[in-house]
Structure 1
Amino acid sequence: MSANDVVELHVSIDGGSERKFVGRYAWTLFELIHADEKGCTPIEQPAPRWSHYVFVLRQKGVVIETITEKHAGAYAGTHARYVLHGTVEIRKVVRAGEKRRAA
């Protein structure tokens, strides 16, 4: 983990009240917000359990579409592209380095 990694994220989803996400859920949502309509893939933004982070975010009311894409290469197959839908407004971002300084 780098000092720049997002570890806590406060957002408003579709104009609702502020919600807090921590850890990899915060990081995943931050990546999805900044990817905009291009979306994110585990190939472009490596993380160990993308599908689980997306699953949990969906349970918490975040609307995320999964698009299946093919890829070539020695390990050809398919991968997911995750695209955030709705309006997610960032209220506060806490990065790993900031968290360590506060502790």
Structure 2
Amino acid sequence: MKHPKQTMRFRLPGAGWARVANGRVAWALAELLRAGKRGVTPIDNPGPRWSAYIFTLRTEYGLDIETVNEPHGGPYPGTHARYVLKSRIEVVE
């Protein structure tokens, strides 16, 4: 069974135009909004290509998204990214 493609219409406050994000980019934006100031990490919120979704939201949609590098332990210690949406956006129904 195919899932319907996710879509999100949004705009920056004060902007007269709205943008539309589709598919996994829309999913990533919804997850960033849901997470708020704590942001999201690929470790806590697995997604196939978080870095690609963030790149698209930054470059094609002009959103300000902070990347915070955090250390992690475990069998493969290193760092992972935490993404935090800094732009205020309005979801258009």
Q: CA distance change for structure 1 residues 18 and 44 in 2, over 3 Å: closer, same or farther?
A: same
Counterpart of 1:8? 7
Q: Deviations over 1:3-54 (max 9, x none)?
A: 6x87111111233221100001000001001111000000111011100110
Look up the match of 1:43: 43
Q: How does 1:1-103 map to 2 (within 5 A)?
A: 7-16=6-15, 17-59=17-59, 60-92=61-93
More strand by share: 1
1:90 and 1:42, CA in 2 relative to 1: closer, same or farther beyond 3 A? same
RMSD after superposition: 2.0
8 A Cα contact 1:6 1:27, kept in partner: no
5+ unaligned residues in a row in structure 1: which ranges? 93-103
Q: Indicate the SS of the match to 1:28.
A: helix
Secondary structure of 2:6's counterpart equals strand
Q: Which has the higher helix share?
A: 1
* In structure 2, distance between residues paired with 1:10 and 1:19: 6
TM-score normalised by structure 2 residue count: 0.88
Query: Normalising to structure 1: TM-score of the pair?
Result: 0.80
Rounded to whole Å, the distance in 2 between the matches of 1:65 and 1:21 is: 19
Q: Percent identity?
A: 44
In structure 2, stretches of 5+ residues that fail to align are none
Query: How many residue pairs end up in the alignment?
Result: 91
